Amino acid sequence: MAKTPESSQGTIIISRPNLGRAEFHLRGISPYVQHKFSEKARRQMLDAQIDGTRAKGKKKREPRDIEAEYKAAMHLTEDGRTGIPANAFRNCMISACRLVGVVMTRAKLSIFAVPDAFDADDDTPLVYFTKGEPQLHESAVRLATGVASIAIRPIWREWECDLVVSYDNDQFDINSVANLLARAGLQVGIGEGRYDSKKSTGMGWGQFVIDNSNDLSS
């Protein structure tokens, strides 16, 4: 870590930001499963909060529209392209810092995933898929209430993407960034069912490896 120098008068001298950029081509080695918080679910939650006590009454349960649930769980741009939340990569790299003794709070200020576009519905920053098509996936889950249910989500069984990482050169060099991302891909993962899932030990989904990298800082 670079130290902050002091002048002869004791004044702290702050250096300018020294940010580098590197592009990595990532290839999934296990399925990636996505579960966007749908616009319908957000609307229902907001309506219940606006209605207040009136929302406590039982409402008639509508039949499930499987195809609609599948599409609603997918991140799409304005022109209909699919993408992975950019912060999924940033978060998994920050989480991997625990494996190498790097302070996570420092990494939060030093590593960033550069988005290609934004979700047309909720403005989530996205990284485009360069390879892979989604399919409808059904899996048995247990809700927070303990009730068993079937989750409908899109799955990419084969997938690739190009990820641009911006990083603080005073904290990490390019090799360290690449190695951290490699650890994140194999030991943390992204999306539903990843190894680092907060609610389980994961399904082994969302793993990836680096096929090649390109330093864009020069």
Instruction: Give the tens place of pLDDT for each residue, 12-63.
Output: 999 999 999 999 999 999 999 999 974 455 455 545 555 665 555 556 677 8
Domain, as residue range, for 166 = 19-51+63-215
Token pair in block for residue 47: 């309506």
Residues facing 32 on adjacent strands: 156
Asked whether residue 10 is assigned to any structural domain, the reply reads no
Burial group, residue 29, by CB count within 10 angstroms (0-12, 13-18, 19+): middle
Asked whether residue 136 is assigned to any structural domain, the reply reads yes
Asked whether residue 29 is assigned to any structural domain, the reply reads yes
Asked whether residue 74 is assigned to any structural domain, the reply reads yes
d(CA 117, CA 114): 9
Asked whether residue 87 is assigned to any structural domain, the reply reads yes
Neighbours of 30 (CB within 10 A): 20
- The pTM of this model reads 0.83
> How many domains does the structure of the chain reveal?
1
The DSSP call for residue 188 is I
Asked whether residue 78 is assigned to any structural domain, the reply reads yes
Weakly modelled stretches of the chain, pLDDT under 50: 38-39, 42, 46
pLDDT at site 46: 47
